[in-house]
Amino acid sequence: MGNIDIFGPENDAARIRRVIGEAFTEEEIRIMCRYAGVSVYVVKRNDGIAGEYIWKKKGRSGPVINLVPDARDDTIVHEFIHHLRTMDVNRSGIARTPVCVNENGETIESSIHKKYEFDISNVEESATVAETTARRRSVGGISGYFSRIQDINSNDAYIHDRLLLTDSEDEARSKDIRGEEVIDAVNTKYERTKISGACIFPKETNGRTAKESCDLLIREGILKK
């Protein structure tokens, strides 16, 4: 069993710990610590990326999350959801990562997964955004992936998905959900979210939306409902 090791200024580390404690259950945090756990680095960067999750590969000590200083709460939650989607072997459907990993949580090189790597990323990012939207109400900005949805305002798309996933009528008063409740919400409502209509990698997927990529991965046996 590993740990969630955070490297960076103490004020950032304390806030990351607080956000994790609020957005995830104790059991989910325990699952995050399977095998080597995860190392979190708070680092300044100039590429406009506020956070990233780097999957564990063979020969690498463990997975890594990189976050910029003062990262938004929902950015923190988003990256930890990538990790949880990989580590929680009891998940199924769209709530489970389509990234090919072995029993140790390490990514596996596969010709079919390589062929559809951008469709896999299309699904992984949109489903992670959906879960983030349910777990943490966005304050001070919304995920940039909402801008990848055609024919709808990004904020309107976010509000639609927040209300849908949390079963709320008022976005400002909607309550964050965790654990089995959020897994069920993602698995049963994903196809009705606006973020499932995002085209995150338009060039590489020939313009397929995340939902279309999802359908393709199901047909190819990469993703199971």
- Please say if the pLDDT value at position 1 is more than 80: no
Size of the chain in residues: 225
pLDDT of 144 over the 90 cut: no
CATH 3.30.2410 placement within the chain: 3-88
Cα–Cα distance, 11 to 90 (Å, whole number)? 34
Residue 112 CB coordination number (10 Å): 12
* Closest CA relative to residue 129, chosen from 92, 163, 151, 158: 158
Query: pLDDT averaged over the chain?
Result: 93
- Sorting pLDDT into bands at 50, 70 and 90, what band is 39? very high
Q: Is the pTM of this model over 0.85?
A: yes
Quickly state the pLDDT bin for 108 (edges 50, 70, 90): confident
pLDDT at residue 224, rounded to an integer: 83
186-220 per-residue burial string, b: 16 or more CB within 10 A, e: under 16: bbebbeebbbbbbbbbeeebeebbbbbbbbbbbee
Structure confidence at residue 116 (pLDDT): 96
Report d(CA 119, CA 94) in Å as an integer: 13
Class of domain 3-88: alpha beta
- Mean of pLDDT values over 134-163: 91
